[in-house]
Chain A
Amino acid sequence: MKRSKIMELGVGLFMLAGILGMIFLGLRVSGLTLTSPGNTFTLEANFSNIGGLKPRAQVTMAGVTVGRISSIELDTDWYDARVVMELDGKLEDRLSRDTTAAILTSGLLGEQYVGLSVGGDPETLADGDTIRDTQSALVLEELIQQFVSNMVSD
């Protein structure tokens, strides 16, 4: 009878470990957050070209991750891309109104992400506001085209 108790305990621990492992895979590896929406706030930004930016990409500030992209859609008023970001709630009402958002690439082949840099405006961005000053993704073909046309005009 003693042996079967140990066995039951073993199986119980085994299953518990499996569930904990699933939670680890969910939270730590795929970055699902259990934090309630109250701890984040959203900002929007319109880009004329987002390149290879994908939902759930990182939003950083001075290299530190401060949030992630929740959705990307086409803005049919302007025919550009509207990117909705979810940012750390601590930053609410602290980012200046003239904060810029740029789509950057980590490394030569890395993932694309959004980098924020703060301006000097005393007024701040609140939940649901839109960042006006944006810089689109660098598209390699456009760069080359510019370079070639500059060469020709010289």
Chain B
Amino acid sequence: MSDSPFVVIDDLHFSRGDKDIFRGVSLTIPRGKITAIMGPSGTGKTTLLKLIGGQLTPDAGRVWIDEHEVHALSRKALFRLRRRMGMLFQSGALFSDLSVFENVAFPLRVHTDLPQSMVRDLVLMKLEAVGLRGARSLMPSELSGGMTRRVALARALALDPELILYDEPFVGQDPISKGVLVQLIKRVNEALGLTAVVVSHDIKETLSIADYVYVIADGQVMAHGSPASLDVDQDPRVSQFVHGEPDGPVPFHYPALDFRHDMLGVAGGGR
């Protein structure tokens, strides 16, 4: 039981408008490990997290979390399942009308009947873990981007979830906060033994903490393996991505007409 994968995604299809985002994605996320899902921007990594969290419904395919099929659950059961998950949003998504302390206390207050003093202890513990115990009375608008994300991490951990989803945790951070977040994610995982999914395109940071990596492109899983095996992968697309080469099989240019053709403005090709 404890060896069975925590999240299983089977042949997932999803499209938005006319655009296919996923065309048959299958992956398994092992229990207690950090799994990274990587890919170039615009491949729908955030969408994948929303599908796992049950906020979006796929066109076809299924998602299981700990043997529960997410999209077959009732609204109530889905909310119950979500209590066992934490999610760290790209923007942090702190509640702007609550202080840092209240933000972290929020999940505890709505889901538990703990006495006030216990809530306080728990919140201060979580804030201490992310190094922001001193910032408890600040409002979210007074925090820097890195601090916002750390508070959001504390909030995501407040209920001691079994699964935590990180949505682009490193994007737009200075090197120091990046380093802090990398360490935090690693430490949290080791200390609490929870299952983590990191969606990111920051290769260096992600590869340094992930136990297993999926690379998604063109709506499909392009490659998967341990960070070490991906590093020496022969597939030109994978190595382009992993080594960050600007041009290669994944083109630098958005599909367009011939450049010379466009510049001369023949054929009236528009603006």
A and B: direct contact (Cβ < 8 Å)? no
B residues near A (Cβ < 8 Å) are none
